[in-house]
Amino acid sequence: MTELRQGPIGDRWVIVAPMRGRRPSDLVTVGKESTELSSDDCPFCPGNEDKTPPEIYRVSNPDGSWQVRVVPNKFPALSDDYRGLEQADAGGFYQRMNGLGTHEVIIENPDHEKGIPDLPLKSVETLIDTFAVRLQKLKQDDRYRYILLFENHGKAAGASLSHPHAQIIGIPIVPQAVMSELRQAHSYYEDKKNCLFCDLLKNELRSRERLIEETDEYVVFAPYASCFPFEITIMPKEHVHDFTEISQGQRREFAVILKRTLHRLKEVLNDPPYNLMMKSAPNVSEGSGNQDCFSAMQDSYHWRVEIVPRITVMAGLELATGLYVNPVPPEEAARYLKEAGN
């Protein structure tokens, strides 16, 4: 079983999820050749459905084959096999909780080689709809105070299997990094009576120097203080705090913009490893039981997708101070990415 821990220095929680029966040297995989699974052995390829835990959800074709599958993570960081939160301190000095949570894998399409930029638009739409279905479902469980959808693409971005897949994790706390964003957005709203994120969009649309693309519903840009080279944000123009609350039309346009943006990145950096993160407000929707302290903050939040290419390495400076070194000014990154679409 896993557990969540927090020490007295730094605000970070850690999921301690032991991989039983391994020797330390089994862990040393970084920098070694990855044992790339062929599609015969890949548990996410058609024909190998029995290699995953039992399916949670699927979108089927008329012939019965699948377009998208959702399965529990075989090695979950968190599990819902707990009756309650059972929070307890460890010796009066440390904080711990049972590793309550959920961890799902969304197999994006049957083709081992095809990611979002390569799929037909129709398939991307199906995938986005699946994201919405699963997120909506998990939001009904009030034990999950924060739900993150993310995609790790490539080994350097932490993907252990190369068959394109996304993950959803539901956790029993609102993590420090998210709380900090919420507090900033809330305090900005209190101060200026405007949404921080809406003002940021206005600012980017006015200056245009970091703009990659603008559509009716979305703005794609390289953030001013990008921590990573070629970092990209996709932000909706409409002020909505949660991805699951957007309209069907907005979802359709999101499929177009996500496919095109990932295509730009693939073209400019030759299919780089990346992390994609869909950030929505914490799960404090009506009926979730979590409404107490977060609902005011939730209103000042604004959902978005952040895409972070992993072509540089975080080193001692970044780990010790949180101060990142970015060798590519976002203005320059935006120019390359913008051109790539033409």
Binders of its own copies among residues 253 to 292 (CB under 8 A) are 268-270, 272-273, 275-277, 279
Element (H, E) at 297: helix 291-299
Letter string b/e over residues 235-274, b meaning 16 or more CB atoms within 10 A of that residue's CB: bbbeebbbbbebeeebbbbbbbbbbbbbbbbbebbeebbb
| Closer Cβ to its own copies, 27 or 286, answer by number | 27
Q: Tell me the one-letter amino acid at 28.
A: V
DSSP 321: H
For its own copies, which residue of 36, 41, 190, 199 counts as binding (CB under 8 A)? Answer: 199
- Residue 308 interacts with its own copies (CB under 8 A): yes or no: yes
Contact indicator for 311, 250 with CB cutoff of 8 Å: no
Interface with its own copies (CB under 8 A), residue total 99
Q: Which of residues 4-33 bind its own copies (CB under 8 A)?
A: 5-19, 22, 24-25, 27-31
Distances (CA, A) of 156 to 114, 119, 161, 253, 278: 18, 23, 12, 30, 19
- Residue 88 interacts with its own copies (CB under 8 A): yes or no: no
Of 296, 338, 330, 269, which Cα lies nearest the Cα of 182? 296
For its own copies, which residue of 38, 62, 63, 323 counts as binding (CB under 8 A)? Answer: 323
Q: State the minimum distance, in angstroms, from the CB of residue 65 to its own copies.
A: 29
Q: Which of residues 202-221 bind its own copies (CB under 8 A)?
A: 203, 206-207
Contact indicator for 272, 154 with CB cutoff of 8 Å: yes
| Closer Cβ to its own copies, 67 or 275, answer by number | 275
Q: State the minimum distance, in angstroms, from the CB of residue 142 to its own copies.
A: 19
Q: State the minimum distance, in angstroms, from the CB of residue 305 to its own copies.
A: 10
Q: Measured between alpha carbons, how far is 122 from 252 in angstroms, rounded to an integer?
A: 9
| Closer Cβ to its own copies, 225 or 287, answer by number | 225
3-class secondary structure, 226: coil
- Residue 35 interacts with its own copies (CB under 8 A): yes or no: no
Q: Extract the tokens encoding 209.
A: 């120097």
For its own copies, which residue of 110, 115, 164, 229 counts as binding (CB under 8 A)? Answer: 229
Q: State the minimum distance, in angstroms, from the CB of residue 2 to its own copies.
A: 9
| Closer Cβ to its own copies, 14 or 296, answer by number | 14
Q: Measured between alpha carbons, how far is 339 from 324 in angstroms, rounded to an integer?
A: 26
- Residue 177 interacts with its own copies (CB under 8 A): yes or no: yes
Q: Tell me the one-letter amino acid at 176.
A: Q
For its own copies, which residue of 123, 223, 236, 283 counts as binding (CB under 8 A)? Answer: 223
- Residue 326 interacts with its own copies (CB under 8 A): yes or no: yes
| Closer Cβ to its own copies, 66 or 336, answer by number | 336
Of 306, 311, 340, which Cα lies nearest the Cα of 327? 311
Instruction: Give the orientation angle of helix 291-299 with respect to helix 176-192, to 10 degrees.
Output: 60
Contact indicator for 169, 294 with CB cutoff of 8 Å: no
For its own copies, which residue of 128, 132, 196, 219 counts as binding (CB under 8 A)? Answer: 196
Q: Which of residues 97-156 bind its own copies (CB under 8 A)?
A: 146, 148, 150-152, 154-156
| Closer Cβ to its own copies, 82 or 224, answer by number | 224
